[in-house]
Amino acid sequence: MQKPVKPKTEQQRLSALFNTGLLDTEPEPRFDRLTHLAQLCLGTEIVLVSLIDSDRQWFKSRQGLDACETHRDISFCGHTILGDEIFEIPDAVVDNRFTDNPLVLDAPFIRFYAGVPLSINGANIGTLCFIDSKPRQFTDKERQIAEQFAKSIEQEIVDRLQEQAHSELLESDKMYRLVLEGTQIGTWQWNVQTGETVLNERWAEIIGYQLEELTPISLDTWLTKVHPDDLTLSEQSLQDHFSGSTTFYDIECRMKHKHGHYVWVRARGKVVSYSKDGKPLMICGTHADITTQKVNELALKQSRDQLYKLTQELPGVVYQFQSWPDGRSAFPFASSGIEAIYGVTPEEVRLDASTAFNRIYLEDLEAIAHSIELSSQNLSVWELEYRVHSNDNALKWLSGSATPERMPDGSTLWHGYIQDITQTKEHYLKLEELNIQLGIAQQSLDLASEQAQIGYWQASLKQGTLWWSPIIYQIFGLNEQDFSPSVSLFKRAIHPDDVAKVEKSEDQARVTGIHNVVHRIIRPNGEVRWVHELGQLVSEDKNPELIMIGSVQDITDRMKLQKIKDDFISTVSHELRTPLTSIFGSLTLLQSGKLAALPEKAQKLIDIASSNCQQLSRLINDLLDIEKLAAGKMSFEMKPSHIMPLLQRALKDHQPYADLHHISLTLQVNQPMDELLLFVDEHRLLQILTNFLSNAVKFSPQGESVTLSATLMDEQIEIAVQDQGSGIPDDFKGKIFERFSQADASSSKAKGGTGLGLALCKELIQAMNGSIGYQSEPGSGARFYVRLPIMK
Amino acid sequence: MPLEKILHIEDDESIRVIVDMALVDISGYTLVSCASGQDAINQVEQYTPNLILLDAMMPGMDGLQTLIELRKKSSYQQIPVVFMTARIQQSEQQEYLDAGAVAVIEKPFDPMSLGNQLATIYQTFITAADNHSSE
């Protein structure tokens, strides 16, 4: 028996067979009808559609045979497919290729065989074969019929393939539609040549419309809805796709929603057919609403940008630091601030942190290593202040803080921030130093204030708060623990007789900013103490809280001394005046000559004694006045006074004295002053003029004149006394208004001055809001003046 | 009524002598001088002056106490009192005026014009008293 060989194109043939998808399928009427018809036409016992698989022949359709397959080696059809023509064996028994074939020797006892190859796509996949158990020979006509049937079978196979493809297409189309609907994707088709456009409902829904609202649909429907700024992008992508440089038309663009806002759409499409001249014809595509995604993306990008910008703006470094158990460490992320902190770029330390660590001040390295290890072990926040060398090798202080996180590989990752606190640290250290100094100063102050019995206080007029230093409590006889300072507590302590005085000073303080008063207080145990209060309102522009600071000094002891002094002066003045009164009285009575006539020399001596006695009396008066002024005990009876009568009286009072010295007195005014009023104590003003006039008379040569003048100047009046004396020596000018000052020691003896007069004048005129001065040119005498404000 | 009779009370003898000369020899008044307040009170029954010149500072009974005691005598209640003092502090002087003195003369005084001074003070007082009584 001859086995059929395998054709050269066996592989190709088998693949064509498999593509038909016929093997091992159910019998089909389309094939069975044909084989049955062929059986009837040609009258053979058996008709088969036999497909030649790699090792077998399998019958897709069979008439007159039960078996559905046989081995390929014993097949007749295996031979048939080797040629393109009908293969015919008239009697197998006598053909030595088949004599011993089991199919010949046994059922179905083949004697006649005729097979027509079935060719699909040029490959013989099987046969249509006719079998009989009696020898036979086809006529030409029978052969033609057999061949036509084979052609019909071939056609059926092709048709079947196409039907199958079609139904698969339908299936997949249906599936794709379902997918499209499921994915909410809009679809579009556009005929590039005609502009004809088809959109689906979803396409319209994406931009808030019903599809019918958009009719008539045209390319304009798209063009009017897309954001104008995105048209160029679309055009570019389309051209790229048409030219073949991209597989898809693919853009992200904005489209105007029915409600006016824009939605983000991903438009994707592909040319599916071309015109005969090769131009793109149909392009199909999809629209996907990617607004949410896009907005998220934009927001993410924005927040990333912001974060990045922020980290770059920060004065310090935002970083991630990672440390592995094997000792490696790195900064996987560091903002550009790391350059200012460690003098390295983020790239330099991305994989290895050691260059940054090299910058750390040696003394602080151990503390850092320890703190990092501790943070890593306990996963506790790392916080440290330490020093690094800056680029110029100076030391800077850094402050770092980071939160650790354990990574799957056993490493630890910190997220943190390090900043340069050199300045803060320096300020802090400086502050600490100042604090120590302040502490020392405070101690000294406390000590000093305790020794001097001066307490100090601070009040906020705005907040109504008051603070007392410990000494104040001591002065007021209060226990610091039992009382908190308050204005009412202070007021209660003031001696009732002094309340008005204190309030007056407080009122004044509101205007002048200075509170200055001496008054008595009564301690809780009834003891009366004298205090000197001095307060100052800190200048307002620097003092929004209206802070007033001040001191309270216990001056009881001083006041006691003052009292002793006052008593002493009072006593002394009495004890001096009493004998003076007798001496002066006696001399005056003698001098008058009314009681007894005296010899000329005796008269002369009496005159001298009388003159000196008067001077002594004046000295005592001046001394007492000065003391009174200094103690603030001089009282002034200020009242409006006409100036002219005062001047005339001063002149008249001095006429006898002037006559004695042969000096003429004159009064001079630069304009009528009858209406002018001064606000003065007349007695005190006269005292001043008396002083001026008696000095002028005293120091003028005999026969000269002394001028009392009044000059109106703006708001003031100047009252002056001009003499014709020798003027004031230069070395005396600076101290002329000082107490006990006289041009030279001899002058007091010669002229009888006390040296207190001008000093007293100065204090008196100042107490009456006036000023005092003099002019003196050598050789032209001296001119003393006072200036007083005029009353309006 | 012109000033004629004066009572002077002063502990300092020299001043008593000078006042005596000034008022009697120079001005021609009738004068009784006492060395203390007690002396003066003892004199009251014998002598009724037009004016009393009273030293403020005296040992024992001082000027103010003497004034109070003298005022207790009915005949002395209307007599003007002039204080004489070596203390020139105004508060002290005011104290005397408040106690009923009509004037205060400071020491040292001018003996030549003392009589005139007292006459002027007396006339002012009389005029004021007349006005007062005629109202």
User: pLDDT digits over A245-255, tens only?
Assistant: 898 999 999 99
What is the reported pLDDT for A473?
Answer: 87
* pLDDT, mean of residues A74-91: 93
Mean pLDDT of A429-433: 86
pLDDT in tens, A547-594: 888 888 888 888 888 778 777 777 777 788 888 888 988 888 888 888
DSSP characters over A424-485: HHHHHHHHHHHHHHHHHHHHHHHHHHHHHTEEEEEEETTTTEEEE-HHHHHHHT--TTT---
According to DSSP, the residues that pair with A353 across neighbouring strands are none
Residues A146, A94 share a domain:
yes
* Residue A43 belongs to a domain: yes
Report pTM.
0.42
Instruction: Report d(CA B28, CA B4) in Å as an integer.
Output: 8
Distance (Å) from the C-alpha of residue B116 to the closest C-alpha of chain A?
A: 15
Answer yes or no: is A575 within a domain. yes
pLDDT (average), residues A125-148: 93
Q: Indicate whether A240 and A341 sit together in one domain.
A: no
A161 in B contact zone (CB under 8 Å):
no
- Yes or no: say if B111 and A589 are a contact pair by the CB < 8 Å rule: yes
A38-70 pLDDT, tens digit each: 999 999 999 999 999 999 999 999 999 998 999
Q: Which domain holds residue A707?
A: 636-789
Question: What is residue A81's predicted lDDT score, i.e. its pLDDT?
Answer: 93
Domain final position from A529, A554, A579: A554
Interatomic CA distance for residues A674 and A642, integer angstroms: 7
Band the pLDDT of A119: cuts 50, 70, 90: very high
pLDDT of residue A741: 57
A337: which 2 tokens?
A: 């601030």
A605 shares its domain with A676:
no
CATH no. for residue A466?
A: 3.30.450.20
Tell me which residue in A570, A574, A581 faces B15 most closely, judged by beta carbons.
A581
pLDDT, average across residues A205-222: 88
Is A174 within a domain?
Answer: no
What is the predicted pLDDT for the residue at A62? 93
Statement: residue A322 has pLDDT above 90: yes
Only one residue has tokens 């001065």, namely: A773
Distance CA A664, CA A655 (A): 8
User: How close is the nearest chain A Cα to the Cα of B104, in Å?
Assistant: 15
Question: Residue A113's domain is classified under what CATH number?
Answer: 3.30.450.40
Q: Are residues A527 and A492 in the same domain?
A: yes
State the pLDDT at residue A543.
72
Residues A496 and A593 in one domain: no
Dihedral sign, Cα of residue A300, residue A302, residue A303, residue A308: positive
Residue A336 pLDDT greater than 80, yes or no: yes
A56 shares a domain with A157: yes
How do B51-55 and B5-9 pair as beta strands? parallel
- Least confident piece of the model among A10-19, A188-197, A204-213, A535-544: A535-544
Of A126, A125, A122, A119, nearest in space to A151 by CA: A119
Residue A141 has pLDDT above 90, yes or no: yes
Decide if A581 and B112 are in contact by the 8 Å CB cutoff.
Answer: no
Interface probe for A, chosen from B18, B85, B117 (most Cβ of A below 10 Å), is B18
Residue B134 scores a pLDDT above 70 = no
Residues A415 and A475 in one domain: no
Instruction: Please judge whether A585 and B18 are an interchain contact, meaning their C-beta atoms are less than 8 angstroms apart.
Output: yes
Indicate the number of domains in chain A.
Answer: 6
Query: Residues A471, A579: one domain?
Result: no
From the list B14, B57, B111, the residue facing A588 with the nearest CB is B111
* SS3 state of residue A269: strand
Q: What is the pLDDT of residues A508-535, one digit of tens each?
A: 877 777 888 889 999 989 999 999 988 8
Scanning every residue of chain A, which has its alpha carbon at the shortest distance from the alpha carbon of B86?
A: A574
For residue A746, what pLDDT is reported? 46
| pLDDT over 70 at A91, yes or no | yes
Determine contact: A581 vs chain B, CB below 8 A.
Answer: yes
Q: How many domains does chain B have?
A: 1
Average pLDDT, chain A: 86
Q: Do B22 and A589 lie within an 8 Å CB cutoff?
A: yes
Is A604's pLDDT higher than 60? Answer: yes
Q: Are A505 and A524 in contact (CB under 8 A)?
A: no
Comparing B1 with A239, which gets the higher pLDDT?
Answer: A239
**Which pLDDT band holds residue A745 (cuts at 50, 70, 90)?**
very low
Asked if A385 contacts A425 with a C-beta cutoff of 8 angstroms, the reply is yes
Q: How many CB pairs under 8 A join A and B?
A: 68
Asked if pLDDT for residue A653 goes beyond 50, the answer is yes
Rounded to an integer, what distance in angstroms lies between the CA atom of residue A56 and that of residue A67?
Answer: 12
Which residue among A602, A627, A652 closes a domain? Answer: A627
The answer to whether residues A206 and A275 belong to one domain is yes
What is d(CA B24, CA B115) in angstroms, rounded to the nearest whole number?
Answer: 9
Across the interface, which of A578, A586, A595 has its CB nearest the CB of B86? A578
Which range is least confidently modeled, A394-408, A573-587, A620-634, A659-673?
A: A620-634
Contacts of A362 (CB under 8 A, 6+ apart): none
Q: Is B109 part of the contact surface with chain A (CB cutoff 8 Å)? A: yes
Strand segments (E) across A64-122: 69-71, 87-89, 112-120
Picking from A563, A569, A570, A577 by the largest number of B CB atoms within 10 A of its own CB, the best residue to mutate is: A577
Domain limits for position B43: 5-134
A588 in contact with chain B, both atoms CB, cutoff 8 A:
yes
Claim to verify: residue A374 and residue A490 sit in the same structural domain = no
The answer to whether A628 contacts B86, with C-beta atoms less than 8 Å apart, is no
* Residue A443 resides in a domain: no
Instruction: Let me know whether A139 and A281 are in one domain.
Output: no
Residue-wise pLDDT for A234-278, tens only, equals 999 999 998 888 989 999 999 999 999 999 999 999 998 888 888
Please indicate, yes or no, whether residues A672 and A569 belong to a single structural domain of this protein: no
ipTM of the complex: 0.85
Q: What percent of chain A has pLDDT over 90?
A: 33
Q: What is the DSSP track for A661-674? A: HT-EEEEEESS--T
* Alpha carbon of A570: minimum distance to chain B alpha carbons (Å): 7
Are A98 and A77 in contact by the 8 Å Cβ rule? The answer is: no
- Give how far B109 is from chain A: nearest CA, Å: 7
CATH of the domain at B49: 3.40.50.2300
Q: Which amino acid is at A533?
A: E
Q: How far is B74 from chain A (nearest CA, A)?
A: 32
